[in-house]
């Protein structure tokens, strides 16, 4: 990560952690659900919050970190308000994904896997997101922006990617691969 792209760790308001913990019984089985809520609130899992959660649920800190680092949905570093996932699957690659990724890296001044210092954007290169007909595709959080060109990507960044769905954009159904769902399924089986 370049020095310029080091995101600031925002101050951690542990009142939010307490409010989340209050929604669940103090039992280890709620760890993943609590971590999901924390990730949603802070957009990452702050160390202070993880320590508090471990103590509250009676889960050793090493295990809390084990779960927090196992699932891709969790991040131990601050992530951007907008997470831009550039699909680099075959269809998108053929239709210009490398150019799209390069343009985003240049515009945001970060590499894939990094977050802008103002915590506005995170940039990721990902495998097929299941919208090949719209290739090349960039996911902005849960919204797919398709049929992208370098010009459209510039517009996407300029507009802050907020509420800027153009033609070829669509809300994709979320694959039900949440950590809690997986944990529930493995408990049932
Ligand atoms: S290869 Fe990009 S959506 Fe399938």
Q: What confidence tens digit (pLDDT) does each residue in 42-77 have?
A: 989 999 999 999 999 999 999 999 999 999 889 998
Q: In the structure, what pLDDT confidence band is assigned to residue 181 with cuts at 50, 70 and 90?
A: very low
Contacts of 104 (CB under 8 A, 6+ apart): 84, 86, 123, 138, 153, 157
What is the C-alpha to C-alpha distance for residues 56 and 70, in angstroms, rounded to an integer?
Answer: 21
Q: Left, alpha or beta for 163 (phi > 0: left; psi -120 to 50: alpha)?
A: left
Q: What confidence tens digit (pLDDT) does each residue in 95-132 have?
A: 999 999 999 999 999 999 999 998 899 999 999 999 99
**b/e map 74-96, b = 16+ CB within 10 Å:** bbeebbbbbbbbbbbbebbeebb
Write down the pLDDT at residue 164: 39
Is residue 53 within 8 A of residue 38, CB to CB? The reply is yes
Q: In the structure, what pLDDT confidence band is assigned to residue 142 with cuts at 50, 70 and 90?
A: confident
Q: Does domain 8-70 have CATH number 1.10.10?
A: yes
Is residue 179 within 8 A of residue 29, CB to CB? The reply is no
C-alpha distances in Å from residue 175, one per residue of 22, 24, 178: 28, 25, 8
Ligand 1 atom at minimal distance to the Cα of residue 97: 2
Write down the pLDDT at residue 133: 95
18 alpha carbon – ligand 1 mean position (Å)? 40
Ligand 1 atom at minimal distance to the Cα of residue 89: 1
CATH of domain 82-171: 3.40.30.10
What is the C-alpha to C-alpha distance for residues 144 and 139, in angstroms, rounded to an integer?
Answer: 4
The pair of structure tokens assigned to 156 is 């996407």
Ligand 1 atom at minimal distance to the Cα of residue 134: 3
Domain boundaries in the chain? 8-70, 82-171
For ligand 1, atom 1, which residue shows the shortest CA distance? Answer: 89
State the average pLDDT for the chain: 84
Full-prediction pTM beyond 0.75? Answer: no
The pair of structure tokens assigned to 41 is 């609130």
Q: Residue by residue, what is the 3-state secondary structure of 82-142?
A: EEEEEECCHHHHHCCHHHHHHHHHHHHCCCCCCECCCCCEEEEEECCCCCHHHCCCEEECC
């Amino acid at each position: 990560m370049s020095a310029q792209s080091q995101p600031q760790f925002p101050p951690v308001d542990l009142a939010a952690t307490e409010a989340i913990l209050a929604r669940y019984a103090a039992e280890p089985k709620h760890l993943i659900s609590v971590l999901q809520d924390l990730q949603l609130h802070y957009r990452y899992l702050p160390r202070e919050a993880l320590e508090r959660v471990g103590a509250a649920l009676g889960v050793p800190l090493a295990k809390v970190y084990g779960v927090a680092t196992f699932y891709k949905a969790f991040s131990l570093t601050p992530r951007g308000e907008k997470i831009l996932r550039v699909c680099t699957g075959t269809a998108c690659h053929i239709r210009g994904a490398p150019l799209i990724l390069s343009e985003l890296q240049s515009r945001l001044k970060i590499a894939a896997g990094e977050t802008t210092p103002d915590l506005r954007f995170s940039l990721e290169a990902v495998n097929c997101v299941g919208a090949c007909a719209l290739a090349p595709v960039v996911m902005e959080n849960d919204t797919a922006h398709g049929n992208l060109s370098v010009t459209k990507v510039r517009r996407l960044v300029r507009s802050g990617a907020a509420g800027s769905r153009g033609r070829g954009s669509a809300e994709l159904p979320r694959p039900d691969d949440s950590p809690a769902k997986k944990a529930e399924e493995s408990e049932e089986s």
